[in-house]
């Protein structure tokens, strides 16, 4: 059964902390892994990862894919209250997306 699992389900940290969010996948015909940030209405695209071991960075956010371990991590350094959101990952097979249920991150001032 194809599936994507994220951990932890929820996380509460203080401003300035660094967090690591995990995403593992088991899908057939894997093509890429996507990370999204969902605050209000719709998930906002963060990263798309297709190659193993190559880190993608955007400001304080970075992500890397490990195809051997069938997993990806999303790091957020020096967290801010504006980082509070649900972070979703999804595995793209080209024909379908398999979403995890997300990690709910709360950053306390």
Partner 1 sequence: GAVVSQHPSRVICKSGTSVKIECRSLDFQATTMFWYRQFPKQSLMLMATSNEGSKATYEQGVEKDKFLINHASLTLSTLTVTSAHPEDSSFYICSARDQPSGFSYNEQFFGPGTRLTVL
Choose between 36 and 68: whose C-beta lies nearer to partner 1.
Answer: 36
Which of 14, 28, 42, 109 binds partner 1 (CB under 8 A)? It is: 42
Choose between 9 and 78: whose C-beta lies nearer to partner 1.
Answer: 9
Under the binding rule (CB under 8 A), the answer on residue 30 touching partner 1 is: no
Which of 23, 36, 63, 64 binds partner 1 (CB under 8 A)? It is: 36
Query: What phi, psi does 25 have (nearest 5°)?
Result: -140, 150
Which of 14, 58, 68, 95 binds partner 1 (CB under 8 A)? It is: 95
Q: Which residues bind partner 1 (CB under 8 A)?
A: 36, 40-45, 48, 86, 88, 90, 95-99, 101-102, 104
């Amino acid at each position: 059964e194809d599936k994507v699992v994220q951990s932890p389900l929820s996380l509460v940290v203080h401003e300035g902390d660094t967090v690591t969010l995990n995403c593992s996948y088991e899908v057939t015909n894997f093509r890429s892994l996507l990370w999204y940030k969902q605050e209000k209405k719709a998930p906002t695209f963060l990263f798309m990862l297709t190659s193993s071991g190559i880190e993608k960075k955007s400001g304080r956010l970075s992500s890397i894919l490990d195809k051997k371990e069938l997993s990806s991590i999303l790091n957020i350094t020096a967290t801010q209250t504006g980082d509070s959101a649900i972070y979703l990952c999804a595995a793209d097979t080209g024909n379908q997306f398999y979403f995890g249920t997300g990690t709910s991150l709360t950053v306390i001032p």
